[in-house]
A = this chain, B = another copy of it.
Amino acid sequence: MAKEKKVQQITDMDADFAQWFTDVVVKAGLIDYSGVKGFYILRPYGYAIWENIQAILDKRFKELGHHNVSMPVLIPESLLQKEKDHVEGFAPECAWVTLGGNEELPERLCVRPTSETLFCDHWSHVLHSWRDLPMKYNQWCSVLRWEKTTRPLLRGREFLWQEGHTIHETAEEAKEETETMLNVYAELCEDYLAMPVIKGRKTDKEKFAGAEATYTIECMMHDKKALQSGTSHYFGDGFARAFNITFSDRENKLRYPHQTSWGVSTRIMGGIIMTHGDNNGLVLPPMIAPTQIVIIPVAMHKPGVLDKAEELRARLEKAGFRVMMDDSDQSPGWKFAEYEMKGIPLRIEIGPRDIESGNFVAVRRDNGEKAVCAIDQLEEKADELLKTIQASMYEKAKANLTENIYPATTMDEAKAVIEKGGFIKMMWCGDEACEIKMKEDVGVSSRCIPFEQEHLGDVCPVCGKPAKEMVIWGIAY
């Protein structure tokens, strides 16, 4: 058996971005395909990224007073049907359990596509008084949606997510919650994943089934398409009325509470890949990378090399970095390619000549820059380089976003934007018919009505009627 494993090849991202993406998720060891279409295995390296995202969010949720819970995986059809808009949105995508223990069930049960109905049913049991409010819950789980076309991480029939569900005494408090949680998601993206976001509200056409309002963060991928990366929904008291959830208010009168939900899924890992990846594979932001630094001993059979490499590893680990050292018998060249594929932010090379001169070589994954650094300054240099990488990755992604949003005041201008790639910002009359026409004629959907509005004109370029607000349009994943 040959010791040398083959360096893995991936498709050129500019030639075929979709195939490049699939190559990266498979060859970086993030996912494997299962025997069922649209169901994927999140392998150790992929799951470790998700665990880092979970840790950041879970800590933040708890700081903000949320509690984790676990709801059943199955929803009776009658429960799903209680809120009219909600069931219309989700029933077509449900997977149904019809047999249990070889007996036909009296009522078919849906594998949860989302859990609003379950939370509502629970709250209808346990909510009594305004003193019980707010109830701010979250659950980490997987959900099923029977999609026709599927892609790893981006569109699975099963995906992992967190779903936050809260009920509140007043509409104001519930609205504030949706805003707070959207900001938590924006911070996750910008501060940890180095993904700049546009915050805004979804149009009625694009909002969540059963919501009064859906808020979103939208990111621009390398191919200038949009990825909805997190959403937060305000339900008013619609679900509460449908599920008869009431409480005694401060005047001892029965009232309906106001409700929210919000979620981020493993889809965001697809976003990391498509924001930062390159033709050598994955590029991970240091804040989220399972391994931040890989140490590769060069000419490791030479005396002292492995010892020094291990010494560097131990020092970095002690200083709190997530670090590994690869002393396997693959060649340095194979190792360089392998850890580039896996997107490890910083590579440290150490060989006999480096040791002699008291130096090591540090190579940035994001731009390939090499630096020769003093071993004495190992920890400071590693810290400095990782911070620089994190900041540079954000700046690069931010430039991609800001340089590729174009105003349009006519349909022709809008089409021209999509031809070169990017988001369109354009005034809108508020009419769904114009959204449908944008989809048909330009091939874009409304991504959001951004919180940061601009006045680009007085009329809707689609219909010519008076414009209400500015919308961001794009081709979406």
Residues in B with CB closer than 8 Å to A131 are 328
- Are A146 and B98 neighbours in the complex by a CB distance under 8 Å? no
Residues in B with CB closer than 8 Å to A118 are 34, 41
- Are A102 and B92 neighbours in the complex by a CB distance under 8 Å? yes
Is A76 part of the contact surface with B, judged by Cβ < 8 Å? yes
Question: What is the distance, in angstroms, from A381's C-beta to the closest C-beta of chain B?
Answer: 28
Q: How many copies does the complex hold?
A: 2
A97 to B74 alpha-carbon distance, docked (Å):
11
A160 to B73 alpha-carbon distance, docked (Å):
11
- Are B42 and A74 neighbours in the complex by a CB distance under 8 Å? no
A43-51, A228-236, A424-432 - interface stretch: A43-51
Is A125 part of the contact surface with B, judged by Cβ < 8 Å? yes
- Are A36 and B95 neighbours in the complex by a CB distance under 8 Å? no
Is A109 part of the contact surface with B, judged by Cβ < 8 Å? yes
Evaluate whether A51 and B68 lie within 8 angstroms (CB atoms) in the complex, with A96-B99, A102-B92, A125-B32 already known: yes
What string of 1s and 0s marks CB contacts (under 8 Å) between A52-73 and chain B? 0000000000000001111111
- Are B74 and A39 neighbours in the complex by a CB distance under 8 Å? yes
Range class of the A interface residue count: 35 or more
Is A333 part of the contact surface with B, judged by Cβ < 8 Å? no
Residues in B with CB closer than 8 Å to A48 are 67-68
- Are B97 and A101 neighbours in the complex by a CB distance under 8 Å? no
Is A377 part of the contact surface with B, judged by Cβ < 8 Å? no
A118 to B92 alpha-carbon distance, docked (Å):
27
Residue of B nearest to A79 (CB): B35
Residue of B nearest to A249 (CB): B1
Is A129 part of the contact surface with B, judged by Cβ < 8 Å? yes
A69 to B41 alpha-carbon distance, docked (Å):
7
A32 to B158 alpha-carbon distance, docked (Å):
26
A246 to B122 alpha-carbon distance, docked (Å):
48
- Are A36 and B248 neighbours in the complex by a CB distance under 8 Å? no
**Which of B50, B71, B76, B95 interacts with A97 by CB under 8 Å?**
B95
**Which of B1, B39, B67 interacts with A252 by CB under 8 Å?**
B1
Is A144 part of the contact surface with B, judged by Cβ < 8 Å? yes
Evaluate whether A148 and B101 lie within 8 angstroms (CB atoms) in the complex, with A1-B129, A67-B48, A126-B32 already known: yes
Is A394 part of the contact surface with B, judged by Cβ < 8 Å? no
Residues in B with CB closer than 8 Å to A71 are 34, 41
Evaluate whether A111 and B70 lie within 8 angstroms (CB atoms) in the complex, with A94-B101, A146-B100 already known: no
A39 to B73 alpha-carbon distance, docked (Å):
8
A294 to B50 alpha-carbon distance, docked (Å):
35
- Are A96 and B98 neighbours in the complex by a CB distance under 8 Å? yes
- Are A76 and B36 neighbours in the complex by a CB distance under 8 Å? yes
Is A191 part of the contact surface with B, judged by Cβ < 8 Å? no
Is A23 part of the contact surface with B, judged by Cβ < 8 Å? no
**Which of B39, B72, B137 interacts with A158 by CB under 8 Å?**
B72
Question: What is the distance, in angstroms, from A377's C-beta to the closest C-beta of chain B?
Answer: 30
Residues in B with CB closer than 8 Å to A70 are 41-42, 47, 50, 142, 160
Question: What is the distance, in angstroms, from A268's C-beta to the closest C-beta of chain B?
Answer: 15
Evaluate whether A44 and B72 lie within 8 angstroms (CB atoms) in the complex, with A36-B109, A98-B99, A146-B101 already known: no
A97 to B125 alpha-carbon distance, docked (Å):
29
Most chain B CB neighbours (cut-off 10 Å) among A33, A74, A144? A74
Residue of B nearest to A139 (CB): B47
Evaluate whether A95 and B102 lie within 8 angstroms (CB atoms) in the complex, with A71-B41, A111-B111 already known: no
- Are A44 and B73 neighbours in the complex by a CB distance under 8 Å? no
What string of 1s and 0s marks CB contacts (under 8 Å) between A1-12 and chain B? 100000000000
Residues in B with CB closer than 8 Å to A93 are 101
Is A458 part of the contact surface with B, judged by Cβ < 8 Å? no
**Which of B33, B36, B44, B121 interacts with A74 by CB under 8 Å?**
B36
What string of 1s and 0s marks CB contacts (under 8 Å) between A380-417 and chain B? 00000000000000000000000000000000000000
Q: List 16 A-B contacts (CB under 8 A).
A: A1-B252, A32-B126, A36-B72, A41-B71, A42-B69, A44-B67, A44-B68, A44-B69, A44-B137, A73-B144, A74-B158, A92-B101, A95-B101, A96-B99, A100-B157, A101-B148
Q: Which 10 A-B pairs have the closest CB atoms?
A: A101-B146, A44-B67, A39-B72, A42-B70, A96-B99, A100-B146, A95-B100, A98-B98, A1-B252, A34-B72
